[in-house]
Structure 1
Amino acid sequence: MASIWVGHRGTVRDYSGFSPSVDAEVIRKAIRGIGTDEKTLISVLTERSNAQRQLIVKEYQAAYGKALKDDLKGDLSGNFEYLMVALVTPPAVFDAKQLKKSMKGTGTNENALIEILTTRTSRQLKEISQAYYTVYKKSLGDDISSETSGDFRKALLTLADGRRDESLKVDEHLAKKDAQILYNAGENRWGTDEDKFTEILCLRSFPQLKLTFDEYRNISKKDIVDSIKGELSGHFEDLLLAIVHCARNMPAFLAGRLHQALKGAGTDEFTLNRIMVSRSEIDLLDIRAEFKKHYGYSLYSAIKTRKRTCDRKGHSRKNFNEAQLEQKQ
């Protein structure tokens, strides 16, 4: 059965001639020698699919009696360590950890919460919730509840439940009905009925929402984006706008997030690495194409000019993100 974490437009695919025992040994040598052979780590871990990396993890544990991620943590540092550990982490666990990190400490990273919960499928979200409970012995919903509030909290919890319809079929009658409900909940009344927005935008399938937004324009003579901006505010507004963008073009939405992460004085490593790792087997080819289309230069050049992963001597090393972008379309 095909994995729910693998799409058809990723830059990473199964490596042919794969041998987990050979790879485990090569990795062991790369991290046990004098100094770390980062080049070897990059070439092995970026050219294997996550499913293959999980087999390497098992083989490594069996052969050396140690967890590969612990050895990587002990031998590496900084963003390079973070990336290599991310690559040997199962996707649902990786997302669970990203969500935890978004809610840990003072302040919440709302953008990260929004991005993860709007771009994962219902089945993926169910796996993430299970992984979250396994790793932290707390439910994802409880942590979201204690870290957020109001309509934003309500919408996040609805998304985290993984109840969005995943059907590709669209129902024209339902689209007209939902569009009217949205119009009556916002533009056509004094005040806003936020619950109706949450219910429709967080539970309908993306193809269904696209049709609903077309019907909405027919009824209200306005784009749903403009209505959301006029009727709502704060993180709740940000979340619903993210859903609209994902329904219309998810790769373009994620390309926008990468552009934000790479511009300005410093790189937002947390966002950059999360999107590159989590989408590398799903739709990174499409994200890359949207980036070029919208910003006029390639994602590869944007990362190359902004990022260098350095070893202890300060020599620049090509990192995972660049490696993914060198894959041919």
Structure 2
Amino acid sequence: MNQSCESECKKIHDSLGRITHLAQALACKTQLEIKKIRETYLAMYGEDLIDLLQKNSQLSNTQKNVCEALYMWMLDPIEREAVMVREALDQQQSEVNYKVLVEMFVGRKSSLVVLIKQAYQAKFRRQMDQDIVNIEPPHPYKKILVALVASHKAHHADVSQHIAKCDAKRLYQTGEGMSGSIDEAVVLEIFSKRSIPQLKLTFSCYKHIYGHDYTKSLKYGNYGEFEDALKVVVKCIYNPPKYYAKILYASIKGITTDKGGLTRVMMNRGEVEMEEIERVFKKKYGMELSEAICESENIPSGDYRHFLVALATRTRTRTTNTTITATAIS
């Protein structure tokens, strides 16, 4: 066993009763380091840190938020995303959180989506795709998600400028280029047959040809829930850093129903991707993400806030190479 890792595990073991120390120790670690720590801790003490955090989460009401956050942070990234998807789909707890599902299908390569689905089935003995199909009552997001599921199954890595231009023109002709609501069938057909990079190129061509973003066209006319859902999906595809920066800001300000949006984005987007999101956040809102978290009136003070600040600052303070995790999870 690596001596430095053993030393880390001893410090963590000694900190189990002091959540503040534990949170600060783990927040600055990469996923590769956390994996080694979990393995070493299990070998040294015969217990999985995940299980210990779950016990703490059940026993300590005052520190439940940080224990739950630490639990999610310690999970393997693929298993973590599977857990988040299951929580998003669990209608016994609350309404379906469609943004979690959108972010997975839009922000993950097809090969990684397959692994998340496998982790979902292994952990919950359920088929993710079937759970999406079974969402009740039907919602416009469901139509788009079903199309994205099909898109990933027919994924092609290459992108075509010609196809992008043709699709952009079809979107215009069946949207703002005609009176009334957009043609949902055309949108869903395009979404089901094109990869995410291809769709991103399509929206870029749309802006180049018509002089504005496709999402701006969704504000025209008497549009409804489908257009609202489509707008969110398109923003996530076309400009992910801006999309995620808005998620973070809305969560910090408490102006969203997206439960868990703050920790989800900070944990799932990887070190390298978070750097770009934080740059967009600072440019758009005039402050560092960590500063916004510290000043938030909607985030409980104490260990949970300290943990979030540590997550927010880890990409700026680390000097070692942390691109391994970001490559694996992109």
- Same fold per TM (> 0.5)? yes
SS of the residue aligned with 1:318?
Answer: helix
Find the counterpart in structure 2 of residue 13 from structure 1: none
1:172 to 136, 161, 177: 161
Percent of aligned positions with the same letter in both sequences?
29
Contact 2:155 2:194 in 1 (8 A): yes
Give ranges in structure 1 of 5+ residues lacking alignment: 1-16
The 1:175–1:79 alpha-carbon spacing in structure 2 relative to 1, beyond 3 Å, is same
Q: Deviations over 1:245-279 (max 9, x none)?
A: 23332111100111111114799661111111112
SS of the residue aligned with 2:271?
Answer: coil
Find the counterpart in structure 2 of residue 258 from structure 1: 248
Aligned partners of 1:99, 1:58: CA distance in 2, in Å? 25
Normalised to the residue count of structure 2, the TM-score between the two structures is 0.79
The 1:308–1:325 alpha-carbon spacing in structure 2 relative to 1, beyond 3 Å, is farther
Contact 1:121 1:166 in 2 (8 A): no
1:51 to 18, 21, 32: 32
The 1:268–1:108 alpha-carbon spacing in structure 2 relative to 1, beyond 3 Å, is closer
Show the 5 A alignment for 1:180-259.
180-189=169-178, 192-201=182-191, 203-217=193-207, 223-230=213-220, 233-234=224-225, 236-259=226-249
The 1:288–1:217 alpha-carbon spacing in structure 2 relative to 1, beyond 3 Å, is closer
Deviation at 1:199, TM superposition (A): 3.3
Q: What amino acid maps onto 1:302 in structure 2?
A: A
Show the 5 A alignment for 1:1-329.
19-31=4-16, 36-76=17-57, 77-104=63-90, 105=92, 106-148=94-136, 149=138, 151-160=140-149, 162-163=152-153, 165=155, 167=157, 170-189=159-178, 192-201=182-191, 203-217=193-207, 223-230=213-220, 233-234=224-225, 236-264=226-254, 270-306=260-296, 307-310=299-302, 318-325=306-313, 327-328=315-316
Contact 1:185 1:193 in 2 (8 A): yes
Aligned partners of 1:18, 1:288: CA distance in 2, in Å? 34
Q: Deviations over 1:38-73 (max 9, x none)?
A: 343123312221122122212222322222111122
Contact 1:201 1:243 in 2 (8 A): no
Q: 204-213 or 170-179: which moved more? A: 204-213
Q: 186-195 or 173-182: which moved more? A: 186-195
Aligned partners of 1:102, 1:57: CA distance in 2, in Å? 26
Aligned partners of 1:43, 1:64: CA distance in 2, in Å? 21
Deviation at 1:287, TM superposition (A): 0.7
Deviation at 1:131, TM superposition (A): 0.9
Aligned partners of 1:240, 1:153: CA distance in 2, in Å? 11
Aligned partners of 2:25, 2:208: CA distance in 1, in Å? 53
The 1:18–1:120 alpha-carbon spacing in structure 2 relative to 1, beyond 3 Å, is farther
In angstroms, what is the RMSD of aligned CA positions?
3.0
SS of the residue aligned with 2:75?
Answer: coil
Q: What amino acid maps onto 2:147 in structure 1?
A: T
Contact 1:163 1:203 in 2 (8 A): no
Deviation at 1:280, TM superposition (A): 3.8
Contact 1:60 1:68 in 2 (8 A): yes
Q: Deviations over 1:56-99 (max 9, x none)?
A: 21222232222211112223541110111111101111111111
Compare the two structures and name the one with the higher helix fraction.
2
